Structure 1
Amino acid sequence: METYGLESLGIVNPSAVYRNLTPAKLVEKALCRGEGKLSATGALCVTTGKYTGRSPDDKFIVDSKGVHNDIAWGKVNVPTTQEVFDALYEKMVAYLQNREIFIFDGYAGADPKYTKAFRIVNELASQNLFIHQLLLRPTEEQLKSYVPDFTIIAAPGFKCVPERDHTHSEAAIMIDYEKKLVLIAGSQYSGEIKKSVFSVMNYLMPKQGVFPMHCSANIGEAGDSAIFFGLSGTGKTTLSADPNRKLIGDDEHGWADDSVFNFEGGCYAKCIDLTEEREPEIYRAIKFGSLVENVIIDEETRQADYADGSLTENTRVGYPVDYIPNAAIPGIGGTPKTVIFLTADAYGVMPPISKLNAKQAQYYFVSGFTSKLAGTERGITSPVPTFSTCFGAPFMPLDPSVYAEMLEKKVQQSGANVYLVNTGWCGNSGKRMNLKYTRAMVTAALNGELEKAQFVTDPYFGVQVPTSCPGVPDEQMIPAKQWGDDQAGYEKKAKELAHSFVENFKKYTHMPADVVAAGPKAE
């Protein structure tokens, strides 16, 4: 039996080893093993048990001599010892003896100058299908000489014992950057595999002069690339899926001196309340070869009920990017000409679109702001500011200043315009910004029309606000006008939000003074 070098990992007695099986064979294996069911559209549907999303409190990084000074240690990047990692590794390897092993040997990074090889060792065929579709798939010729740069071992059936394994729960995600090894135990949520790849890339890419980004990206007919940063609920996927532009990727990219490129070969989209009318590309991508997580399906008809969040609101589907009709294959574009930060401000005080200078770009990038909207979650009765460092805090192992400086350098080199777009509330109406107007503003930013407008300085956030935009009523452009006679209410809410920014930014102790000064003014 060919083992493809598993012995080097300590897996010496598997019952069977399957390497880079086709999606059809992986679906067959998963069904035979009782891992899931087929939906009416042919997608493989699984439930992930206790863990239906990422488990940030269970992630650790080995604090070894070679990386100690690189990592921004804290609540996100939690240290563990080499001894703890090695002990867990030995237990997981022992667990995998006499089991079927599924290997996917693939790549991250569509630009061949920066591609990294990842070997994924799976206990489950369904998870192997997921990562097969999410990463870049090698050719048969490439597999003949394939050597992994990093290895990820995912064994959801192995449950940690916190008292014994020095973990916080039965799940653990541990990264050893020096040994080039990642362990994922106890969680069947496939996003942990994908995000572990990102964490590695976000550590490695800056060493090669590439700015790693948690963003979506697309490209126009003239070859003009644009990137969209934004947390969940800000419209990143919706606004980057432009029928007039090709999609480079929807989640993680690298910005090199002469390119922007997708780290992935697939997409991992939310399914909650999905409809064909609102998001036809995602809806139609849920077919044979896709992996669907925690979506309720009818036992008789096998029709999916995307409105049912009884297992989790974080229902997901993974599929290859070429399931999207206007995908750019391979996922590479020229250096971006437009950078857009998306935020959903529930206070109704941030401009619907504004232009940022270099220091403001660093400030709002590091802040990674959005807000939870009243009524969207149980117990949320008023806006709650949410900040995620660099729009991807859980996957950024280096200090935020490193990524912020890279952003400034890339923007200066490319001459890109940077905009902050608020897709949240419009004034005190209690309604979100009209998507038609947001699309018009994004289009004007992409085609250069917005640069022809007159700009005024926002009194609280200091950003430059255009007073007009094609396809958008002028009164929509200035937040204060949306508050009508309640200017006192506008000023109160603007000061509240500005104060939240200021307080949040105090934790970034390595940021230059001129970047700190570029933020909102609480008074």
Structure 2
Amino acid sequence: MNVPFDTASSNPSGRLTLEAQGFRGLKEQHWNGLQATLVEQAARLGEGEFSDQGALVFRTGKYTGRSPKDKFIVREGSCSAEVDWGDVNQPFDPELFDRLHERVLAYLQGKNVWVQDLFAGADPAYRLPIRVVCERAYHALFSRQLFIRPTPEELASHHPEFTIVAAPGFLAVPERDGTRSEVFIIINFARKIVLVGGTEYAGEIKKSIFSILNYLLPLRGVLSMHCSANVGDDGDVALFFGLSGTGKTTLSADPLRALIGDDEHGWSDDGVFNFEGGCYAKCIRLDRLNEPEIFDAIRFGTVLENVVLDPVTRIPDFADASLTENTRAAYPLEAIPHHVPGGCGSHPKQIIFLTCDAFGVLPPVSRLTPEQAMYHFLSGYTAKVAGTERDLGSEPAATFSTCFGAPFMTLPPRRYADLLGAKMRKHNVPAWLLNTGWTGGGGGRGRRIALPYTRALVDAILGGVLLEADHAVDPIFGLDFPRTCPGVPPEILDPRRAWSNPADYDVQAVRLAQRFVSNFARFQNVEPAIREAGPRKIEA
């Protein structure tokens, strides 16, 4: 569709042009459009439709989530010795990359493109200038909401260190291009280019930059973390590590604390800083009662992905998972009333590892020793509930994602674990394991731990209440858990007591413990004290 636009937003003179970056024969270039302009352009192109509150709703087609098997890193001299090559960081041939890059540039000839010059990293000492060149206005809007937006003065001198080219309409030919499928996400550290093609899912843009920061920052002594962060009135920063669906965004959006960020952070010698300028919240079954800050952030300018609208009222049906369980909302950090301008905080006072244990085995909350903290950080355990995803079968599926973010970690796991351990010891930061999953049985038998109870547990951690509570120790996992907590029924704090038949709990606990032990066997080079901090290997 040929839709004319006002092209007054051309690239100012003196800045790095697209032509200098190899682009040629483009139809129109739309530079650094503001939110309203991008919303208008995406709507005029028919890329999305408006909800009743003015959010723009997009459907991403057959790819409603990330495509981890289609992610590659170009194997060349500058990164070959550092990258943790394998199933997560798959190597890609430099010559094939150059050819594919040329094919993508040729594909974009005669097309409109949207350009956003942005930053990743709130701390000026570590921030990364980036450029996102998009085939879709929607992807430019998404990028502007998610990354850090420069001031006019910063924009005048902005020079991108990495450029992401998002061309969802270009489908790779595996036999020709060396990809696995039509989809590709390829990072080239030598040329400082990321190619994203074959998929409309905008999260690939966000996570490709996270992967880059996970390579660059630890080499400078900064721990890159897949976590959310908030801060209390006294400046006490809390970190929430966790995989998708465990509650990072929900629990850090606290009306009594200020949000630093909901997903990606760095921990330097000066403190914690957000990588982003926005939030990318999972919104399946979202409701105002339990998550008011997120619910109210969905308004004009917010990007909704794969959320189903009522065709008449245009009211989002957040309970409808017919397109995907992975419905998303992308909005600027400023949409959260209590946020930290500037995106930086002091060194953390508490670290919380989130897990959604669908087996109903782990306590709702446990205090971790330093060795247990390293064990659970390297394990990165959570579980998926049967029935929420295809092919999971009748039992929950255990997932172990190193550092609570294995798909995005480019260096060997020990690099991140060693940095975390050193910073925790230096700043005397305690760690907790918080189970936001099931109690009284696994999925289908027990019940999900109610969000108000989880919030009460978080409040007790942050307020120091749990340090004074009477504790018990789980005999299989060795986890130290409180017997009481204000606002939480005591019968759910001890997971074995919460089951109607304790013998059934014992069987399930042993099975999960064996999964932990089997997974951790790959970490042969960790200190014995860390390896021994996990559950005992118990025969069924």
Residues 142-170 of structure 1, C-alpha deviations (whole Å, 9 max, x = no match)? 11111112111111111111111111111
Residue of structure 1 aligned with 2:274, choices 252, 259, 262: 262
Letter in 2 for 1:498: A
**Structure 1 residue 491: deviation in Å?**
2.0
Find the counterpart in structure 2 of residue 30 from structure 1.
Answer: 42
Residue of structure 1 aligned with 2:55, choices 29, 43, 51: 43
Are 2:316 and 1:301 equivalent residues in the alignment? Answer: no
Letter in 1 for 2:248: K
8 Å CA contact 1:103–1:119 kept in 2: the answer is: yes
Residues 273-316 of structure 1, C-alpha deviations (whole Å, 9 max, x = no match)? 22222322222212111111122223443332222222222121
Supply the distance in 1 between the matched residues of 2:40 and 2:483 (Cα, whole angstroms).
58
Supply the distance in 2 between the matched residues of 1:265 and 1:2 (Cα, whole angstroms).
23
Letter in 2 for 1:402: R
Letter in 2 for 1:181: I
Residues 192-250 of structure 1, C-alpha deviations (whole Å, 9 max, x = no match)? 00001100111111012111111111100100000111122322222222211111111
Query: Residues 468-483 of structure 1: matches in 2 within 5 Å?
Result: 468-483=484-499
* Count of equivalent residues: 522
8 Å CA contact 2:439–2:498 kept in 1: the answer is: yes
Are 2:33 and 1:21 equivalent residues in the alignment? Answer: yes
Supply the distance in 1 between the matched residues of 2:373 and 2:332 (Cα, whole angstroms).
32
Supply the distance in 2 between the matched residues of 1:251 and 1:128 (Cα, whole angstroms).
20
8 Å CA contact 2:469–2:483 kept in 1: the answer is: yes
Residue of structure 2 aligned with 1:456, choices 462, 472, 476: 472
Find the counterpart in structure 2 of residue 447 from structure 1.
Answer: 463
Find the counterpart in structure 1 of residue 113 from structure 2.
Answer: 101
Find the counterpart in structure 2 of residue 393 from structure 1.
Answer: 406
Are 2:222 and 1:210 equivalent residues in the alignment? Answer: yes
**Structure 1 residue 508: deviation in Å?**
2.8
Find the counterpart in structure 2 of residue 424 from structure 1.
Answer: 437
Distance 1:468 1:302, change over 3 A: closer
Residue of structure 2 aligned with 1:184, choices 196, 199, 202: 196
Structure 1 residue matching 2:122: 3-state secondary structure? coil
Residues 1-46 of structure 1, C-alpha deviations (whole Å, 9 max, x = no match)? 6484112221122111121111111112212222222222111222
Structure 2 residue matching 1:248: 3-state secondary structure? strand
CA RMSD of aligned residues (A): 1.7
Residue of structure 1 aligned with 2:513, choices 498, 514, 517: 498
Supply the distance in 1 between the matched residues of 2:529 and 2:89 (Cα, whole angstroms).
27
Residue of structure 1 aligned with 2:416, choices 383, 389, 403: 403
Question: TM-score scaled by structure 1?
Answer: 0.96
**Structure 1 residue 375: deviation in Å?**
4.3
Residue of structure 1 aligned with 2:384, choices 367, 372, 376: 372
Supply the distance in 1 between the matched residues of 2:144 and 2:216 (Cα, whole angstroms).
22
Are 2:527 and 1:512 equivalent residues in the alignment? Answer: yes
Letter in 2 for 1:477: L
Question: TM-score scaled by structure 2?
Answer: 0.93
Residues 73-117 of structure 1, C-alpha deviations (whole Å, 9 max, x = no match)? 111111111011111111111111222121100101111111111
Structure 2 residue matching 1:361: 3-state secondary structure? helix
- Larger displacement relative to structure 2 (107-116 or 272-281): 272-281
- Larger displacement relative to structure 2 (40-49 or 333-342): 40-49
Find the counterpart in structure 1 of residue 537 from structure 2.
Answer: 522
Give unpaired runs (5+ residues) of structure 2. Answer: 1-9
- Larger displacement relative to structure 2 (217-226 or 489-498): 489-498
Supply the distance in 1 between the matched residues of 2:389 and 2:103 (Cα, whole angstroms).
39
Supply the distance in 2 between the matched residues of 1:160 and 1:73 (Cα, whole angstroms).
23
Find the counterpart in structure 2 of residue 272 from structure 1.
Answer: 284
Are 2:82 and 1:62 equivalent residues in the alignment? Answer: no
Structure 2 residue matching 1:282: 3-state secondary structure? helix
Are 2:451 and 1:435 equivalent residues in the alignment? Answer: yes
Supply the distance in 2 between the matched residues of 1:225 and 1:372 (Cα, whole angstroms).
29
Find the counterpart in structure 1 of residue 4 from structure 2.
Answer: none
8 Å CA contact 1:71–1:399 kept in 2: the answer is: yes
Supply the distance in 2 between the matched residues of 1:8 and 1:513 (Cα, whole angstroms).
53
Structure 2 residue matching 1:347: 3-state secondary structure? coil
Structure 1 residue matching 2:106: 3-state secondary structure? helix
Letter in 2 for 1:393: A
Supply the distance in 1 between the matched residues of 2:248 and 2:333 (Cα, whole angstroms).
16
Supply the distance in 1 between the matched residues of 2:359 and 2:327 (Cα, whole angstroms).
28
Find the counterpart in structure 2 of residue 328 from structure 1.
Answer: 340
Supply the distance in 2 between the matched residues of 1:301 and 1:483 (Cα, whole angstroms).
44
Supply the distance in 2 between the matched residues of 1:374 and 1:190 (Cα, whole angstroms).
27
- Larger displacement relative to structure 2 (130-139 or 356-365): 356-365
**Structure 1 residue 132: deviation in Å?**
0.5
Letter in 1 for 2:379: S
Find the counterpart in structure 1 of residue 6 from structure 2.
Answer: none
Structure 2 residue matching 1:151: 3-state secondary structure? strand
Structure 2 residue matching 1:103: 3-state secondary structure? strand
Supply the distance in 1 between the matched residues of 2:286 and 2:189 (Cα, whole angstroms).
38
- Larger displacement relative to structure 2 (95-104 or 3-12): 3-12
Supply the distance in 2 between the matched residues of 1:474 and 1:276 (Cα, whole angstroms).
28
Find the counterpart in structure 1 of residue 5 from structure 2.
Answer: none
Structure 1 residue matching 2:438: 3-state secondary structure? coil
Distance 1:368 1:453, change over 3 A: same
**Structure 1 residue 182: deviation in Å?**
0.6
Structure 2 residue matching 1:35: 3-state secondary structure? coil
Distance 1:454 1:305, change over 3 A: closer
Structure 2 residue matching 1:227: 3-state secondary structure? strand
Distance 1:130 1:79, change over 3 A: same
Query: Residues 481-492 of structure 1: matches in 2 within 5 Å?
Result: 481-483=497-499, 486-492=501-507
8 Å CA contact 1:213–1:253 kept in 2: the answer is: yes
8 Å CA contact 2:139–2:202 kept in 1: the answer is: yes
Residue of structure 1 aligned with 2:261, choices 221, 229, 249: 249
- Larger displacement relative to structure 2 (457-466 or 187-196): 457-466
Letter in 1 for 2:423: K
8 Å CA contact 1:374–1:383 kept in 2: the answer is: yes
Letter in 2 for 1:85: F
**Structure 1 residue 456: deviation in Å?**
3.1
Find the counterpart in structure 1 of residue 184 from structure 2.
Answer: 172
8 Å CA contact 1:265–1:321 kept in 2: the answer is: yes
Supply the distance in 2 between the matched residues of 1:477 and 1:44 (Cα, whole angstroms).
42
Structure 2 residue matching 1:444: 3-state secondary structure? helix
